Amino acid sequence: MKNPIAKGVFDIVPHDPSPEGVWRSSHLWQYVEETIRSLANVYGYREIRTPIFERTELFVRGVGDSSDIVTKEMYTFEDRGGRLMTLRPEGTAAVMRAVIEKRLEQQPASQKLFYIGPMFRYERPQAGRYRQHHQFGVEAVGDPSPEQDVEVIDLLCELYQRLGLKNLTVMVNSVGDAKTRKEYGEALRTHLSPSFDQLSAESQIRFEKNVLRILDSKDQNDQKLLEKAPSILDFLTEESKEHFVRVQALLKKIGRKFVAQPNLVRGLDYYTNTVFEITSGELGSQNAVGAGGRYDGLSPLLGGPPLPAIGFATGIERMIQTCLAQNTPFPKAPHPLLFLIPLGERAKDRAIDLSYELRHQNVATEIQWHPKKVGTALQRATQLNATYALILGENELDSGSITLKELATRREIPLPLTDLIDFLLGLNPTSD
């Protein structure tokens, strides 16, 4: 092929027959997205849609110029007006920009928002990580309470539970406030300074720019050097400590199991207090399914008023892949209830009337418009997983009697043609 798909992206198609590509079948994505929308509605979150590109400065200021996203992963281009634009690498900064610009924070209630959409990061493609990937995220803006933190964590856990995911680990931590991070950062530098030359090249850069990011290093030697490092929990201010204690107590109260993980940090610079991550053993070294945290300091960075906020993002690819790895049952792909095979022009005219009347009453119906052989048309009906097939010819029209073929069992059901619609409506739970 002259123009194959670019590296690190993929098509979502009605059915991907390859064993490694099952997760790219569109009915799986539709099921997950429908589950997301239903759950978001139950928790009182409303959808927001932001552009897939924004001014580059939004992400530099919001995500942080020391983050991997800004330093290595953004897709940035210059538009015809000479302005730097960036394909959206994450959702939080864009949502907060919209909240500030539209003055949504001035509405009476706190803003509880969710989004579903593609994100773009230039990184080495691997299991669950792609250059265009898709995220579901929520952002709760305006409520600083631990109760809001727990609602967000619980929403994510409930989503995974409804999708049937198993063997997940929920980790929570607090990165405290600005005073906490300043004092802890100094203590961590003091601890690591004698071993600076032994740190990985990436951690040596983080040592100067954002030393807390070293806690997130996947390098085994870095982790060994951190074994006796001080804990950030020992540096929490009283206010941050009370907040974290309350978060843990509420998680226990609602029955959500979790692990307090002092080394857990988030890769973005705007997080404060509560951070959390949910991991799966099905995804290799990059095992996070979803993660998030509180970011009360983001709005002022973007030129807005002080706004407490917390959110998360979870990859849709990762959710589907984890479900399949755990043999979680998915609904079957949509399929026609009736497959019509008209023989001749007169039958075709009658089939048109039948098909549109059925479709207008929410009965999934397909027609083989120009069947050359009945056997080939029946094969097509089987491929589409149709429930019934109806061969409609001159004899059926003249006699007014038809025979429905139930394809899975090969059972034949004789019916008057005038009873066909009522028969199918009686079987179809979505019909009006």
| Domain identity same for 420 and 366 | yes
Residue-level pLDDT at 70: 65
Domain end marker among 300, 325, 350: 325
For residues 61-65, average pLDDT: 68
**Vertex 405 angle, CA 403 and 407, to 5°:** 180
| pLDDT(315) > 70 | yes
Q: Answer yes or no: is pLDDT of 71 > 70.
A: no
* 263 domain-assigned: yes
* Residue 310 falls in which region: left (phi positive, over 0), alpha (psi -120 to 50) or beta: beta
Quick check: is 191 in a domain? no
Instruction: Write out pLDDT tens, residues 15-28.
Output: 877 777 889 999 99
Q: How far is CA 15 from CA 5, 173, 330, 376, in A?
A: 17, 41, 14, 20
Q: 316 and 395 share a domain? A: no
Same domain, 414 and 273: no
In which domain, by residue range, is 380 found?
338-427
Q: In this model, does residue 184 exceed pLDDT 70?
A: yes
User: What is the CATH number for 403?
Assistant: 3.40.50.800
pLDDT category at 91 given cuts 50, 70, 90 is very high
Least confident of 117-126, 241-250, 331-340, 347-356: 117-126
Residues 313 and 343 in one domain: no
8-22, 145-159, 371-385, 394-408: least confidently modelled range: 8-22
Judgement on whether residues 298 and 173 belong to the same structural domain of the protein: yes
Residue of 255, 267, 263, 93 lying closest to 161 (CA atoms): 255
Q: Show which of 274, 301, 325 is a domain's final residue.
A: 325
**Domain stop point among 325, 346, 366:** 325
Chain centroid, CA 207 distance in Å: 32
Residue 4 in domain = no
pLDDT in tens, 116-132: 999 999 877 666 578 99
pLDDT of residue 68: 60
CB 170 within 8 A of CB 259: yes
Question: What is the residue-averaged pLDDT of the chain?
Answer: 90
State the pLDDT at residue 202.
Answer: 87
Same domain, 173 and 27: yes
User: Is 187 contained in some domain?
Assistant: no
Question: What three-state secondary structure class fits 311?
Answer: strand
Q: Which of 242, 276, 244, 241 is nearest to 261 (CA)?
A: 276
CB-CB neighbours of 183 under 10 Å: 16
Amino acid at the residue 127: A
pLDDT of residue 206: 87
- Nearest to 270, CA basis, from 218, 310, 243, 315: 310
pLDDT of residue 60: 87
Which domain CATH number covers 33? 3.30.930.10
